[in-house]
Structure 1
């Protein structure tokens, strides 16, 4: 089930790149939350469930919202706008399942084997070397934004997975979107009236990140995390970087360089080792 979410998320960076051809990164990041919230409210009404989360869990939904509705979308959009290619971004964010596993370990109080931490360190070193090699020996602003994006997503995935243990995935992401509405709606309206250059590719990319990346993809993803556990479901995330590289090649004509492919493979091996060590 989590695999459906991974396939949906794999198109996020290419779709964001298309959206940035007509909209500014702030509108792409915040506006997608409004589009997704509209779909979420419709689904909640049809399902005849409350439109607001339980008061006792409001704090967890706020954390999830800050991370997956604001943090990852905004930081990743800014990274792409700052010059990071989709392929480059896919390699850096390839550490997401590793970061998610670390958050789950810290949140659940697990004590994984030493191999887990060694693999985490190796993955971080692989990504650092890759980014340094592409940035002339220094980390670019876009790389720091991508690291912030993956950390934000990791926390949001972990907190959302905890909520999804006894709440349907549809309600988890819907409530996270509803909680964000007091911020996303006025900011989106303000950004819209300041002027955006609407083109067909930009609109298509924006609708994808709004409806698929921000809403539909989370339904099977959170359900899969709750049913199979973060460790097992995290293994399906290994497919995300290769899929994103393929979409970047097919849709954006980005070259598949050997350095990028090698770094992606190194990250995949490290992440796979962490999942095996923690299972």
Structure 2
């Protein structure tokens, strides 16, 4: 009787506990990331863009280093450092710096639509990295999503993407590679350690960068500034990336990246509630269109 009851759920349908837990972790990461742009705007209430970037990296790296020492973590093997360097260049320094520079001239809601391409770029990177051959529908949907965003940015800027849009496009490419490598490394050791080592690898660049920024940019500590910096360093830079990498590793990039479909819409919501931004109809329509294209790519990857 026990054997019969245990066989009532086919193995092909049952979701492994690790996948379920990974999905929950990835969802927490998405919520943390969705607050990144509003937190950046708050941080720049009293800090310049370069100061905002380097203080968040320096603070996050200091906390990560303490955590590594507390658990006496062993340094990664030599074969891991190339992937960690990609993660550091993408999600630790490249994306924060470029998106912060972009938010000097772009609204958080506008940036959210452009960065809505990130799940699509991550899927393309992961597919290419795995040497798989997705269906033609995958590439059609990917191209359609990219075209929607390019058309949206061109329409809002009078015919051509602005410098802020260029920053965001490059940030998306760098972050997609970082997510792919971070997920791959998180299958070999804990995701929080992948992010921690990436932060420490960025520290030699962040510390002098912060010193120069403090000398060249005015700095005023307001409650919004402090709150924004703390969220960027701890919420997005440590907790968000740690649970995201672990979620990708446990649930798989295909399953977990579908959750990122909600990130642009969440950012739009925070932009209205926390920043008081107004959402034009074309902004919401483009965001929904991009989400639809990304959903098609996720379903058609095979």
State TM-score, norm by structure 2. Answer: 0.89
Whole-Å separation in 1 of the counterparts to 2:40 and 2:219:
15
Which residue number corresponds to residue 253 of structure 1?
A: 276
Which residue number corresponds to residue 208 of structure 1?
A: 231
Which residue number corresponds to residue 24 of structure 1?
A: 48
Residue pairs, 1:111-126, within 5 angstroms:
111-126=133-148
Whole-Å separation in 2 of the counterparts to 1:57 and 1:166:
9
Please report how far the alpha carbon of residue 192 of structure 1 lies from its aligned counterpart in structure 2 after TM superposition: 2.5
The range that moved more, 180-189 or 219-228, is: 180-189
Which residue number corresponds to residue 168 of structure 1?
A: 190
Whole-Å separation in 1 of the counterparts to 2:187 and 2:76:
15
Please report how far the alpha carbon of residue 198 of structure 1 lies from its aligned counterpart in structure 2 after TM superposition: 2.0
1:45 is matched with which residue: 41, 46, 69?
69
Please report how far the alpha carbon of residue 193 of structure 1 lies from its aligned counterpart in structure 2 after TM superposition: 4.1
Please report how far the alpha carbon of residue 126 of structure 1 lies from its aligned counterpart in structure 2 after TM superposition: 0.7
Matched, 1:151 2:173: yes
Which residue number corresponds to residue 230 of structure 1?
A: 253
Please report how far the alpha carbon of residue 163 of structure 1 lies from its aligned counterpart in structure 2 after TM superposition: 0.6
Please report how far the alpha carbon of residue 37 of structure 1 lies from its aligned counterpart in structure 2 after TM superposition: 0.8
Please report how far the alpha carbon of residue 165 of structure 1 lies from its aligned counterpart in structure 2 after TM superposition: 1.1
Whole-Å separation in 1 of the counterparts to 2:81 and 2:151:
40
Please report how far the alpha carbon of residue 208 of structure 1 lies from its aligned counterpart in structure 2 after TM superposition: 0.8
Which residue number corresponds to residue 241 of structure 2?
A: 218
Could you list the runs of 4 or more consecutive aligned residues of structure 1 that deviate by over 4 angstroms after TM superposition?
Answer: none
Residue pairs, 1:95-134, within 5 angstroms:
95-134=117-156
Whole-Å separation in 1 of the counterparts to 2:289 and 2:181:
28
Whole-Å separation in 1 of the counterparts to 2:158 and 2:79:
49
SS in 1 for 2:300: helix
Whole-Å separation in 1 of the counterparts to 2:230 and 2:117:
26
Whole-Å separation in 1 of the counterparts to 2:263 and 2:71:
31
Please report how far the alpha carbon of residue 116 of structure 1 lies from its aligned counterpart in structure 2 after TM superposition: 0.4
Instruction: Report how many aligned residue pairs link the two structures.
Output: 277
SS in 2 for 1:217: helix
Matched, 1:197 2:223: no
Which residue number corresponds to residue 136 of structure 1?
A: 158
Whole-Å separation in 1 of the counterparts to 2:91 and 2:291:
23
Whole-Å separation in 1 of the counterparts to 2:276 and 2:230:
21
Q: Deviations for 1:95-137, whole angstroms, at most 9, x for unmatched residues?
A: 1000000011111101111110000000011111111111111
Unaligned runs of 5+ in 1: none
State TM-score, norm by structure 1. Answer: 0.96
Matched, 1:178 2:184: no
Whole-Å separation in 1 of the counterparts to 2:161 and 2:209:
31
Residue pairs, 1:39-78, within 5 angstroms:
39-50=63-74, 52-78=75-101
Which residue number corresponds to residue 240 of structure 1?
A: 263
Whole-Å separation in 1 of the counterparts to 2:134 and 2:155:
32
Please give the root-mean-square deviation of Cα atoms over the aligned residues, in Å: 1.1
Whole-Å separation in 1 of the counterparts to 2:200 and 2:161:
36
Q: Deviations for 1:162-197, whole angstroms, at most 9, x for unmatched residues?
A: 111111111100010011111112221332344422
